[in-house]
Amino acid sequence: MFLQLLGCPQGGPGSPGCSMVVCIFYEHQFRCSIYDHLAFMFFFRYFDDLRAVVVHRSSDITTKSLVFSLLDKLQNQTYHPAMSLVLEECSENTFKFLEGKFTIQNDSLSCIWTSKNFESLQEKGKMKFFTSQDYFSYTGDKKKIVRQASIMGRLSTLLGYCFTDGDLLKSFGFLLVDLFARHFPKKVQSYT
């Protein structure tokens, strides 16, 4: 038997919520410490994953150095010493976060939602990842309502990932491929 002295137990029922609260507390303090010079800073947290996007004018060296300073502070001075923030590498001006694919091109930031199954469907014609919704949506008397709720949830997710209408259209194409692979009907009735 082991006694955990630090952190939340992985897999514990209260751990996801507790870990988010602790992270958000430190991030709130960080955000409150910033009071000038920033045009745009966006945070999105999903349990232990954080997407922090900071935009600056590429022609303004002052704001660029400030952005790098703030990102360094976020990574190295914001959280409890026992916590660490690991930066994801950005290769060829593209990086992924959860189901999002970010691209930096021509001084603009684009983000699209992509299906985790897209590459597997393209290469092998099979889905690699399944969720509990995939199984639940085909069982019981309420399967049509569950399918509709699944589609509404996915559409809501698209809106959260996309910055522009073009991003939204590309993401919708990925969603259609994903839904057809899961054998969702082409028509979903609305229940009110």
Crossing angle, helix 165-181 and helix 143-161, to 10 degrees?
Answer: 150
Report the distance separating Cα 137 and Cα 120, nearest Å. Answer: 22
Alpha-carbon dihedral angle through residues 31, 87, 25, 5, given to the nearest 10 degrees: -160
Model pTM? 0.64
Structure tokens at 25: 């507390």
- pLDDT by residue for the chain (192 residues), tens only, comes to 777 777 777 778 888 888 889 999 999 999 888 876 555 677 878 777 888 877 777 777 888 888 888 889 999 999 999 888 887 777 788 888 888 888 888 877 889 998 888 888 888 888 887 765 555 555 555 677 777 787 888 889 888 889 899 999 999 999 888 888 877 777 765 554
